[in-house]
């Protein structure tokens, strides 16, 4: 009888330790599903050489529907990475939090700014420059 009680106690102890390890110290891998860049399309011409871009996210809610965030940095799964598809047309001058500043070079064309969060959710802005 003592062996059965001792085995049951050991099993219960092992299960409770496993539950604690599974539930503690694990951060959810749920990031944003999509990022929204504002403005999404920009026309730069003449003396307008820079534009400030902002990003917000869309997360999946508990019932599976999309929930747009207010741009809270935690919901954007920082750090954010800003890229341009054509570095000959322009560059990201600075970035921080949920914003970045795009600076055009004198060349004409269309450039795309891409922003990614740590879970690879992406957002885009199209820059037309002439």
Mean pLDDT of 53-59: 77
* Pairing assessment for the beta strands 90-96 and 41-44 based on DSSP bridges: unpaired
Query: Is residue 25 very low, low, confident or very high in pLDDT (cuts 50, 70, 90)?
Result: very low
pLDDT at 105: 95
Say what the pTM is. 0.65
Domains of the chain by start residue, with CATH? 30-129 (2.60.40.1080)
Has residue 29 got a pLDDT over 70? no
Query: What's the pLDDT tens digit per position in 87-122?
Result: 999 999 999 989 999 999 999 999 999 999 988 889
How far CA 19 is from CA of 11, 26, 28, 107, in Å, comes to 12, 12, 16, 59
Q: State the pLDDT at residue 79.
A: 86
């Amino acid at each position: 009888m003592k062996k059965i009680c001792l085995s049951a106690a050991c099993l219960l102890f092992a299960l409770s330790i496993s539950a604690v390890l599974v539930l503690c110290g694990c951060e959810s891998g749920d990031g944003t599903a999509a990022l929204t860049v504002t403005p999404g399309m920009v026309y730069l011409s003449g003396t307008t050489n820079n534009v400030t871009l902002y990003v917000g996210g869309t997360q999946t809610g508990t019932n599976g529907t999309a929930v747009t965030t207010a741009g809270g940095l935690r919901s954007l799964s920082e750090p954010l990475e800003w890229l341009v598809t054509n570095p000959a047309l322009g560059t990201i001058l600075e970035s921080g939090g949920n914003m970045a500043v795009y600076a055009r070079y004198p060349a004409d064309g269309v450039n795309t700014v891409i922003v990614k969060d740590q879970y690879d959710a992406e957002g885009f802005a199209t820059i037309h420059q002439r």
